[in-house]
Amino acid sequence: MLMFRHSMIAALILAAVFFFGEISGSRSQVQSLNQVFNMFTPTARAPDSSVTTSSSRVTLGTKGQVGWVCNTGSNAAFVRFGDSTVVASATADMVVLAGQCVALNAGGATHLASITATSTATLITTIGQGRP
């Protein structure tokens, strides 16, 4: 199955090169390639989140549809997107495991709330459009 995916990806890249010309071409060609493959286009990076057992939130800096959230800490963190009043729960929200990154639907949220069940973690969040 993995070999099939690699073959499909290679075929799509070759088709894009044929259709758009040289990949290292102009900026408009690269933007068109992004639109075809719906690639992730970052629009803002939120401040790093120092996560504890108390819910806290950071401002995302811009609205975006996709949040790419990476947990660089050694404990799981739980996250929720929302507005300036959003609160995260360690029993009800999306888990981001230690050392992992997840793509989440930010839905145009302006803030990200986070919490840990025990100890601390650090989250790095990038907001954008498309698939990471």
For the chain, 132 residues long, the average pLDDT of each consecutive 10-residue run is 56 59 52 63 90 96 87 97 96 96 91 96 92 73
Question: Are 26 and 48 within one domain?
Answer: no
Q: Which residues, including other chains, have CB under 8 Å from residue 107's CB and lie 6 or more apart?
A: 65, 81
Instruction: Please indicate, yes or no, whether residues 54 and 95 belong to a single structural domain of this protein.
Output: yes
Which residue carries 């949040």 as its tokens? 67
Q: Are residues 105 and 123 in the same domain?
A: yes
- Written in H, E and C, the secondary structure of the chain is CHHHHHHHHHHHHHHHHHHHCCCCCCHHHHHHHHHHHCECEEEEECCCEEECCCCEEEECCCCCCEEEEEECCCCCEEEEEECCCCCCCCCCCEEECCCCEEEEECCCCCEEEEECCCCCEEEEEEEEECEC
Q: What pLDDT score does 78 carry?
A: 98
Q: What is the pLDDT of residue 108?
A: 86
Give residue 2's pLDDT: 47
Q: Are residues 88 and 112 in the same domain?
A: yes
Residues 98 and 125 in one domain: yes
pLDDT of amino acid 42: 86
pLDDT value for 95: 97
Are 47 and 106 within one domain? yes
pLDDT for position 91: 95
74 and 16 in a common domain: no
Does residue 78 share a domain with residue 48? yes
Q: Which domain holds residue 84?
A: 42-129
Asked whether residue 46 falls in the same domain as residue 9, the answer is no
Same domain for 52 and 26: no
Is the overall model pTM greater than 0.75, yes or no? no
Ramachandran region of residue 130, left (φ > 0), alpha (ψ -120 to 50) or beta?
left
Q: What is the CATH number of the domain that holds 60?
A: 2.60.120.10
